[in-house]
Amino acid sequence: MDANEKPVSISFSQIEDTLMGDTSGKKRDETLEKLDMEASRLKVKLNQGVAPEEHDKILLSMGALEEAKNAVKTAWKHFHNS
Query: Could you report the per-residue pLDDT of 1-42, keeping only the tens digit for each?
Result: 555 666 665 656 888 889 989 999 999 999 999 999 999 999
**pLDDT of 27:** 95
Do 36 and 69 meet the contact criterion of CB atoms below 8 Å apart? yes
pLDDT tens track for 35-64: 999 999 999 999 999 999 899 999 999 999
How far apart are alpha carbons 35 and 78 in whole angstroms? 20
pTM for the model stands at 0.78
